[in-house]
Amino acid sequence: MHPRRRWPIVTSILALLLIVIVVGGYFGWRYTQDQYYVGTDGSNVAIFQGINQTVAGVRLSHVYKKTDIPLAGVPSTYQSSIRATTSPGSLSQAQATLRNVQNAYQTCQTDLANLNTWNKAESKYKADLAAYKKKWGTTGIKHVKGKTITPPKPPGGQPQVPSDCPAPPSATSSGGTP
């Protein structure tokens, strides 16, 4: 009769163990869903809810907020940490990280646009100055029949782009290798 008395104890222990596993799993899952991190969704930066892990084929995170910030346009100082996914934290921490990334991205985009505008103005200035020199034989001020003729003015100082900003894609890409 001893084996029959063991079955209720074994069954009770197994049931208790199953309850502990289920409850522990639920609270573990809930904990992961209170975590947020910044990572990549395709080629863009995004905020994820959960942790960047997979357990038994189940991904423990999902996209919480998509952005239109391409990872390729983000300064290199941020790219490596985003690729590795930032450490999980609160939603406010992930949002603060995303704001920093977005500000750095915007700074790069603005600085690159300013440099592009300056490059066009510099090219125009050089062409205008060459035409002035060809016409007047000098790049200095010319006085003709009581009139003062001035050479074109340079566009000013070249705007600086932070060194960690990625280079813009080449507009004149040939698509082949030399």
pLDDT band at residue 175 using 50, 70 and 90 as cut-offs = very low
Q: State percent of the chain over pLDDT 70.
A: 91
- 177, part of any domain: no
Q: What is the pLDDT of residues 88-144, one digit of tens each?
A: 889 999 999 999 999 999 999 999 999 999 999 999 999 999 999 999 999 999 988
Is 124 part of a structural domain of the chain?
yes
In a domain, 19, yes or no: no
Domain count, the chain: 1
User: What is the span of the domain harbouring residue 79?
Assistant: 33-149
| Cα distance between residue 84 and residue 70, in whole Å | 16
CA-CA distance, 161 to 106, in Å (whole number)?
12
Please, which pLDDT band fits residue 10 given cuts at 50, 70 and 90? Answer: confident
Structural domain contains residue 50:
yes
Return the SS3 of 90. coil
Q: How far is CA 24 from CA 14, 20, 28, 112, 144, in A?
A: 15, 6, 6, 51, 92
pLDDT tens-digit profile of 141-170?
998 899 999 999 999 999 999 899 998 765
The dihedral region occupied by 106, where left means phi > 0, alpha psi between -120 and 50, and beta the remainder, is: alpha
Helices (H) and strands (E) in the chain, counts: 3, 5
Parallel, antiparallel, or unpaired: how do β-strands 44-55 and 58-70 relate? Answer: antiparallel
Residue 16 lies in a domain: no
User: Does pTM top 0.75 for this prediction?
Assistant: no
Residue 41 belongs to some domain of the structure: yes
The phi and psi torsions of 30 (rounded to 5 degrees) equal -60, -40
Does 156 fall in a domain? no
Q: Which has the higher per-residue pLDDT, 1 or 2?
A: 2
Residue 83 lies in a domain: yes
